[in-house]
Structure 1
Amino acid sequence: MTHSQHNTAEETPLANYRMDIRYDGQDYYGWQRHKEKPTIQGALENAVTECFGLRCNVEGSGRTDRGTHALGQVATVRLPKEVDEKKALRSLNKALDDPIEITLLQRVEDNFHARDSAQGKCYCYKIWNHPDLPQAMDGKVWYIPGKLNVKAMQKACPFFVGTMDYASFAKVPNYKRATTIRTVHALNLNRDEDLLTFSIIADGFLYKMVRNIVRALVKVGEGRTPIKELPRIIKAKNRNAAPGTAPASGLYLDSVFYDQDTMNAAVKRNRENKK
């Protein structure tokens, strides 16, 4: 369906579709649509309008911040019932700028919702730890030229695993939340020469929680926070007790889990992948 074939939601029978999306977020003002600034949600909704003549909400699994990225963001959207999924996928990607790509478009049950149906998520955070930053990595990692004690950071990761109150690592003020208690199932730090990659899986995350935890762990790696201080910082349940926030540039939404088995398998891989 072309842009000239305008249909309204009232005229066209619609169904629920799942989109899997990856994007480089460095030129975008985060996920949430904004009237005047480029956002991921805004770009996707404009592509839907261009391809189908519909104004439909593209509902993401969560709001990624300005400058952050995604390898496996998930969204739901109402599209025409009888759409050819492969053709629609090609058309939508053609309408999108290069930093955004829809990797899957699939009709799903009406009760599936990208955010409300999620059981958990995995985020990755990437650090380039070398005096020189390759140009291709600019805006895609946290560039730390000074040498970090990676073994100390790895030793500190288990302090953040479990069910506990993560108030010390939630930005205040936050979005509305019933509780600051979350369950982190796994937190792992892998080293591939100069590239350090944190992988963290939880049932849910508080606003900027991953970036705040990473900043605390890097403080350990810099020798500025002793490992023995971490339990005290966590127990304080106060944002002022913890260090600052890691830059947005290193954060990636890796995957969203919609069933317990898939999440358990990811947790198992995470725990086995320590190096």
Structure 2
Amino acid sequence: MNILSIQSHVAYGHAGNAAAVFPMQRLGVEVWPVHTVQFSNHTGYGDWKGRVFDGPAVEEIVEGIADRGVLADCDGVISGYMGSSDIGNAVIHAAEAVRAANPRAMWCCDPVIGDVGRGIFVRPGIPEFMRDIAVPAADIVTPNHFELEFLTGTPVRDLAALRRALGALHAMGPRVVLATSVLLEDTPADAIDMVASTAQGQWRVRTPRLELNANGTGDMVAALFFVHHLRSGNPSEALSRAAASVHGVLSETARAGTREIRLIAAQEEFVTPTRTFAAETLA
């Protein structure tokens, strides 16, 4: 399996491609990483060095890959943080090129916009670009709770509201939705949910809530779900497998007391998770 991963990158720690590429490789996937930014570290530290690349720079790299004549062998494109709208356009062009070469290929878009407690943290124009252009063109989207509400304009506080929001997101275009970090009024205080949704059904995995604020978690879970979905074609199975691995890595991270996910130290969790979680059908 070959996946084109167009995301940000940090030299220290794990975020963007630095959080997504290795888990996919550990699962036996050939990954073609293209960086949209090159930073010294996650911006959550408050200071960093590096730069944001422009759309033409990203397009040039993708064109070089296409010149190798390999796009027909690409099974999917995954994208995350976009530093500017022209990078977003480059990502869309890349997804279109891959799907033209391989009609079975899918585009998984992690619509990075913001998070609960932080609000919107991307540059002006990016939230609207995600909502109006990127999400409608994607096959799979992986918003967190905050992003699900923003994209659909729907407050999500209970199961009925969650269903409405997922339906609204499907109506925008994506066939598969993975909603992460979902907290409803009836979610136990010591738990957190992930929900997968398609036209055929909706499934939830509830895992123990861990007290940590780690960088790169969303990038990791999107990559894991995407790989498992491409392999199985089963969103319920992909949800269960991704949740198990993420919980294992984050458990190790919490024990270590670090804000950087223990991607390398806990790498066996990607292949043989310590604990498994069954996906339940939402009633």
Q: Under a length normalisation based on structure 1, what TM-score does the superposition of the two structures give? A: 0.28
Instruction: Report the structure, 1 or 2, having the larger strand content.
Output: 1
Instruction: Report the structure, 1 or 2, having the larger helix content.
Output: 2
Higher relative contact order (CA 8 A, sep 6+): 1
Question: If you compute each CA radius of gyration, which structure gives the higher value, 1 or 2?
Answer: 1
